[in-house]
Amino acid sequence: MQYVGRFAPSPTGPLHVGSLTAAVASYLYARRAHGEWLVRIEDIDPPREMPGATGRILETLDAFDLNWDRDVFYQSQHLEEYQRVAAELLAQGRAYRCSCSRREIRGDGSGKPSPLGYRYAGYCRRRKYHERATSIRIRVDRSAGSFDDGLQGPCRYDVHASVGDYVIFRRDGLPAYHLAVVLDDAKQGITHVVRGIDLLDTTGLHIHLQQTLGLATPQYLHLPIIVNAAGTKLSKRTGAQPVEPRGAAARAHEILLYLGLQPPQSMRGARPRELWTWACQSWNPDAMKFQTKLIEKPAHG
């Protein structure tokens, strides 16, 4: 089976060094396997999107010589597909409409917090009438299982116990991230997903949805994330600075250090393309030793 990897940013802002490191790692794994590397723009949440962010993301990837195969995939162009699948699940009785608010789920004391929010106990499973806008939830009965993460090793999950019936379509009419990403990975033929460990908790849920829909499950590898000096994950909300293309050579060198690679001194100042070529020729993915705590370094301009 040919290796097909992907990088799938949301256009909520420009890339910072954390997101770019995840892009580089997924790119190197794909190129080392002589496979394809795709770019998907997950633009299905307009209220959170920043004008011009998509262009800046693609320009940054280009400046760092991260060349993608195939055309860029935009989720916003596939809304009808998400709607069709949700409608089929409703018709089959494997999903149902829910009018519960977050306050109601938290307020009665039975909702248990989890990394993916409060567990939903299925209050609306038998409700026939709703007086307000509804979301669509998947019925989750038995969902315990495990998968072998490429870096973290064996991982167990139990969606029923930790999340319960989860949302695949929001009450504002937008598809949930979980539904879109699972359908898109299948549509694009993704075989390997390399991403940050902050998304590890979603993997069991995605595998449950893949099994519900009869879709193949990719192989997953979750990387340590880069944090700021306060130990907080880099993000727009925590003040992460955007990556500037003019510092591409120095940043590319730092990213390889984050990933446990040591480019020779002779490659100081080398273009990113040369560094990626060296990396693909010089490392054994099965023997990678990633740093367990990655702290953001000062930007180079």
Residue 198 contacts residue 233 (beta carbons within 8 Å): yes
Q: Tell me whether residue 236 is one of the annotated catalytic residues.
A: yes
CA-to-CA distance for 3 and 11, rounded, in angstroms?
A: 26
For 84, other C-beta atoms within 10 Å of its C-beta total: 11
CA-to-CA distance for 221 and 33, rounded, in angstroms?
A: 15
CA-to-CA distance for 28 and 34, rounded, in angstroms?
A: 10
CA-to-CA distance for 152 and 236, rounded, in angstroms?
A: 27
Residue 42 contacts residue 177 (beta carbons within 8 Å): yes
CA-to-CA distance for 9 and 207, rounded, in angstroms?
A: 20
Catalytic residue of the set 233, 236, 289, 293:
236
Burial 128-152 (b: 16+ CB within 10 A, else e): eeeeeebbbbbbbeebeeebebbbb
Residues forming the active site: 236
